[in-house]
Amino acid sequence: MKRYGSELVKRMPRAASRSSRQGRPPQPSGFLIGSPVTSGVIVTPQTALNATPVFNAIDVIATDLASLPLSTYRRAGRYARVPAPEVAANDLFALAPNEEGNAFRLRQAVIGHVLLWGNGYVEIIRNGRGQPVRLYPLNPATTQPRRESGTGPLYYQLTDVDRKLRPEDVLHFAGLGFDGLVGYSVIHMCRAGIGLTIAAEEFGGSFFGNGAVPFGIIETPKKASAAGQQALREAFYQVHQGTKNAHHLAILPEGMSWKGGITMPLEDAQFLETRRFQVLEVARMFRLPPHRLGDFSEAHLNSTEEANAQYEQTTLLGWAIAAEAELDNKLLFAAERERGLCWMHNFAHLRRANTATRTAYYQVMRNTGALSADDIRIAEGMDPIGPDKGGDLYVVQGQYLPLDQIGQQPAAPSPSPSPSPSPSPAPKAGQNGASHGLDLAARN
């Protein structure tokens, strides 16, 4: 693959024309100077981080994804997954990927690379048996996928050290792209909107940093030279410029007069509305719910559970699935994949509801036999009570029937033997004869 968008400014037109023939827009490197956008600022992955909403969006997604447990599972049936900790590569994400850092920082950095540059690269170091033993993040600005002679085998070129890596030794995480390999940079594709965000912040800083209060015009009785005007302006700014000196009493030299009312409030420039809109604009760029960037004006969900479910489905799930597919392909052998092994993120802590909702859920799942007591305790972070106390039993309510028995008449119970009648006792001596006669008539 030909490199594009990473040459110096004087070579950018040629790179742009070459990449346009390939159907890809040029993506300038974040460490080189590009052309400014309409707002007058230069937008690169590096300068985009100066915009508060952009930095916040990348930090939220990268940190939340990196905090999700990531390990190997074995498929048990059509939907079920059971942990498979025997895969050696689990230690790379559970302990440390290399001798220089921990797994959280590696995942956070690489996800940030994908969000900024559209691509994140990790070099895989293997032992003599081909097993991955270390992972090292690569600089996305100097790592480029290429093909021999334009259409030959794929390899990864490290331009800063002049090295080539085989594709099976590189974890390549990419965003949206139309060639199935390289992802587009959100910063580059949406640079006009991000440039407006940066310009609004710079305008706000300039407005408050350079604002001299009171505003207005100083009239002098006679024409002042340029040097005199500059000296008067500097003397006035020294007393009144900046927020700490605002609203001080102004004393003018003799013969000079002040005309106030020459102001431009921020409302007239729609400054606050622009900044509020840019937060929503950045949230759209990264498919984030606005409340994740601190804007609750569009928060219409009724509970934290619903908000987390929306955030998981619209923002995190796609990135997680893409990462899992790459890990399955590069960190598992073909024989392991055939045995049903796969990499998965655990979203359990994002899916936790409030106590009342969680209790009702567990009660239903327990009564229908879907969960045991130990399943519930483990899900709540408690130690299981063990099978000797019935913790592994799956029970159901007694009135439930199998589906094939619904509508059938219940089987009649077997009759129990009736006790034999005991003989009537003989009348005692002296008993009333009439009474005894009535008893005999009744028996006849």
pLDDT in tens, 369-425: 899 888 888 777 778 888 888 888 888 877 666 767 767 776 666 666 666 665 655
**pLDDT greater at residue 148 or residue 208:** 148
Q: Residue 327: what pLDDT? A: 95
Task: Give the C-alpha separation, 250 to 263, whole Å.
Answer: 16
Q: Does the pLDDT of residue 33 top 50, yes or no?
A: no
Ranges of beta strands (E only) in 347-435 are none
Task: Give the C-alpha separation, 147 to 152, whole Å.
Answer: 5
Report the candidate in 178, 130, 124 with the shortest Cα–Cα distance to residue 156: 124
Q: Residue 10: what pLDDT? A: 33
Question: For the residues 141-154, what does the mean pLDDT come to?
Answer: 87
pTM of the model: 0.65
> Which range, 119-123, 209-213, 293-297, has the best average confidence (pLDDT)?
119-123
- Where residue 53 falls among pLDDT bands split at 50, 70, 90? confident
Q: Residue 11: what pLDDT? A: 30
Query: Which strand (E) or helix (H) includes residue 157?
Result: strand 154-158
Q: Does the pLDDT of residue 435 top 50, yes or no?
A: no
Q: Which long-range contacts (CB under 8 A, 24 or more apart) does 242-249 make?
A: 242/209, 242/211, 243/208, 243/211, 245/213, 246/211, 246/213, 247/213, 247/214
Task: Give the C-alpha separation, 431 to 287, whole Å.
Answer: 103
Q: Which residues contact 48 (CB under 8 A, 6 or more apart)?
A: 30, 54, 116, 187, 191, 194, 198
- Where residue 216 falls among pLDDT bands split at 50, 70, 90? low
Q: Residue 119: what pLDDT? A: 95
- Where residue 40 falls among pLDDT bands split at 50, 70, 90? low
Task: Give the C-alpha separation, 4 to 146, whole Å.
Answer: 11
For residues 135 and 106, is the Cβ–Cβ distance under 8 A?
Answer: yes
Q: Residue 114: what pLDDT? A: 95
pLDDT in tens, 82-101: 888 888 889 898 888 998 88
**pLDDT greater at residue 74 or residue 259:** 74
Average pLDDT over the chain reads 76
Q: Residue 45: what pLDDT? A: 84
**pLDDT greater at residue 46 or residue 125:** 125
Task: Give the C-alpha separation, 282 to 57, whole Å.
Answer: 8
Instruction: Label the pairing between strands 170-174 and 119-126.
Output: antiparallel
Minimum mean pLDDT among 42-51, 101-110, 258-267, 432-441: which range?
432-441
Q: Residue 323: what pLDDT? A: 94
Q: What counts of helices (H) and strands (E) characterise the chain?
A: 15, 11
Q: Residue 1: what pLDDT? A: 37
Print burial letters for 343-380: b (CB count within 10 Å at least 16), e (below 16).
Answer: bbbebeebeebeeeebeeebeeebeeeebbbbbbbeee
Q: Does the pLDDT of residue 149 top 70, yes or no?
A: yes
